[in-house]
């Protein structure tokens, strides 16, 4: 995960993030992205990291809300993050503080999931 300043474009941030996780590429095949990441980033991923960047696009003939493959995972993550009051608005002055708040929020989510009582399998 990478939190960037508002003046950093998504494609530039994606290049930085993919460079940071390139060592774990055996677990990153393929990489899914939305239509905002088209263009030179697809070729850059293939040339620099040997990763296939698959673009999940919305069809032009779809109307209203439609669940798109793999994008619902990201949207669900954003929904979980927005349950944290501190992340609803951009209160942080530094990106490191914002990144720490995201980690804090996800740690709370994972802790709640791990602490849930599960029915015994007998």
At residue 79, the pLDDT reads 83
The three-class DSSP label of residue 25 is helix
Helix %, strand %, coil % for the chain, to 5?
55, 5, 40
Give the model's pLDDT for residue 27: 66
CA distances from 22 to 33, 57, 97, 122 (A): 16, 24, 25, 43
pLDDT of residue 80: 83
Low-confidence residues in the chain, pLDDT < 70: 23-28, 121-122
Answer yes or no: pTM beyond 0.75: no
pLDDT score, position 43: 86
Token pair for 2: 């990478």
Return the pLDDT at 23.
67
So what's the pLDDT on residue 26? 60
């Amino acid at each position: 995960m990478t939190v960037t300043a508002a003046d950093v474009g998504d494609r530039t941030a994606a290049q930085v993030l993919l460079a940071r996780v390139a060592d774990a590429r055996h677990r990153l095949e393929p990489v899914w992205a939305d239509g905002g990441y088209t263009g030179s980033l697809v070729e850059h991923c293939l040339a620099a990291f040997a990763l296939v960047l698959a673009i999940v696009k919305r069809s032009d003939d779809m109307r209203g809300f439609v669940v798109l493959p793999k994008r619902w995972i990201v949207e669900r993550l954003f929904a979980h993050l927005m349950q944290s009051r501190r992340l609803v608005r951009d209160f942080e002055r530094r990106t490191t503080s914002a990144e720490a708040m995201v980690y804090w929020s996800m740690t709370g989510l994972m802790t709640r999931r791990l602490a849930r009582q599960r029915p015994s399998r007998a």
